[in-house]
């Protein structure tokens, strides 16, 4: 079990000689030694610093890809959700207020608490299908097409978690020319959500089988006459694409990890 959490070489140490992150990994090994049907992780990152937190997130991601058991993670930090979860159950004062696959839930403009927790945006999984080392870019293929993102220690064929903030998406009624950005995708408007509290409009778009959010002004909606069913071009800067991948301080897609 210690080998499983990469502590096999620390077996002779006394508990007081372990760091906070190592103690959390021992706790994981202790739980796994009981051969549980379900692994429950209750705020596992709460007592460690940020560096140890990243390493623990990678350990848990590795475990979920290795073990044939469901993992349930309880957390108050939405960064954990974005990095690790495949499904999310949101509780508020003991009441379930939202549930679903993370890609669906993160693309709901009606959940205003998402803006405060992590910012509105789209989360989905993709595969690295090409590495352009000379350009400093990687090609990511997903259910909505292909995009180019910065090459940040990701390898060919790696499964990566992608997040695109809603504020980083630009909408156009016709294909643009003469721009520095790489990514232009075709999308169809699913809904237009007016957020009066922030004087913004969130446009929900279907891009292939992925739902994306674009945050624009009311003036933009009026000028482009944006409405449900309209076909638009979705413009995304490569540097705006957030990647989380194994070995790059992030999480690879793997077995289901539910988050409460």
Position 246 scores a pLDDT of 54
Using the predicted structure, report yes or no on whether residue 186 has a pLDDT greater than 50.
yes
Average pLDDT over the chain reads: 85
Confirm if 242 and 83 have CB atoms less than 8 A apart.
no
Q: What is the bridge-based pairing of β-strands 242-244 and 231-236?
A: unpaired
CA 240 to chain centre: 14
Please write the tens of the pLDDT for every residue from 64-75: 777 778 899 998
Using the 8-state DSSP alphabet, how is residue 8 labeled? G
State the average pLDDT over residues 64-89: 85
Position 249 scores a pLDDT of 43
Reported confidence tier of residue 220, pLDDT bands at 50, 70, 90: very high
157: region left, alpha or beta (phi > 0 left; psi from -120 to 50 alpha):
left
Contacts of residue 248, defined as CB under 8 A and 6 or more positions apart, other chains included, come to: 152, 153, 154
Using the predicted structure, report yes or no on whether residue 169 has a pLDDT greater than 50.
yes
Query: Token digits for 38?
Result: 């379900």
Using the predicted structure, report yes or no on whether residue 185 has a pLDDT greater than 90.
yes
Candidates 143, 134, 126; CA nearest to 242 is 126
Reported confidence tier of residue 245, pLDDT bands at 50, 70, 90: low
Using the predicted structure, report yes or no on whether residue 2 has a pLDDT greater than 60.
yes
Query: Token digits for 84?
Result: 């690790």
Q: How far is Cα 195 from Cα 98, in angstroms, rounded to an integer? A: 19
Please write the tens of the pLDDT for every residue from 4-51: 888 889 889 998 898 888 888 888 889 888 888 998 989 888 777 777
Please write the tens of the pLDDT for every residue from 93-130: 889 988 999 888 888 887 777 777 778 899 999 999 99
To the nearest 10 degrees (0 to 180), the angle between helices 50-66 and 20-32 is 20
CA 177 to chain centre: 30
Q: What is the DSSP string of 35-103?
A: --SSEEEESTTTTS-HHHHHHHHHHHHHHHHH-SS-EEEE-S-HHHHHHH-SEEEEEETTEEEEEEEHH
Position 200 scores a pLDDT of 83
Query: What's this model's pTM, rounded to 2 decimal places?
Result: 0.78
Domains of the chain from N-terminus onward: 8-112+254-259 (3.40.50.300)
Which is more confidently placed, 24 or 217?
A: 217
């Amino acid at each position: 079990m210690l080998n499983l959490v990469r502590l096999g070489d620390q077996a002779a140490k006394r508990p007081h000689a372990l760091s906070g992150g190592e103690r959390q990994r021992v706790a994981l090994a202790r739980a796994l030694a009981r051969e549980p049907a379900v692994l429950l992780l209750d705020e596992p990152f709460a007592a460690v610093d940020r560096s140890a937190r990243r390493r623990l997130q990678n350990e848990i991601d590795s475990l979920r890809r290795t073990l044939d058991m469901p993992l349930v993670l309880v957390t108050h930090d939405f960064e954990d959700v974005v990095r690790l979860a495949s499904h999310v159950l949101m509780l508020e004062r003991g009441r379930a207020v939202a549930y679903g696959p993370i890609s669906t839930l993160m693309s709901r403009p009606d959940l205003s608490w998402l803006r405060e927790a992590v910012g509105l945006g789209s989360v989905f999984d993709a595969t690295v299908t090409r590495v352009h080392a000379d350009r400093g870019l990687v090609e990511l293929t997903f259910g909505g097409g292909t995009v180019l993102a910065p090459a940040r220690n990701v390898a060919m064929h790696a499964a990566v978690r992608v997040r695109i903030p809603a504020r980083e998406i630009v909408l156009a009624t016709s294909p643009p020319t003469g721009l520095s950005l790489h990514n232009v995708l075709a999308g169809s408007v699913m809904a237009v959500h007016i957020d009066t509290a922030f004087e913004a409009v969130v446009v929900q778009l279907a891009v292939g089988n992925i739902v994306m959010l674009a945050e624009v002004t009311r003036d933009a909606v009026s000028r482009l006459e944006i409405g449900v069913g309209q076909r638009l071009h979705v413009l995304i800067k490569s540097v705006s694409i957030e990647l989380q991948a194994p070995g790059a301080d992030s999480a690879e897609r793997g077995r289901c990890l539910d988050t409460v």
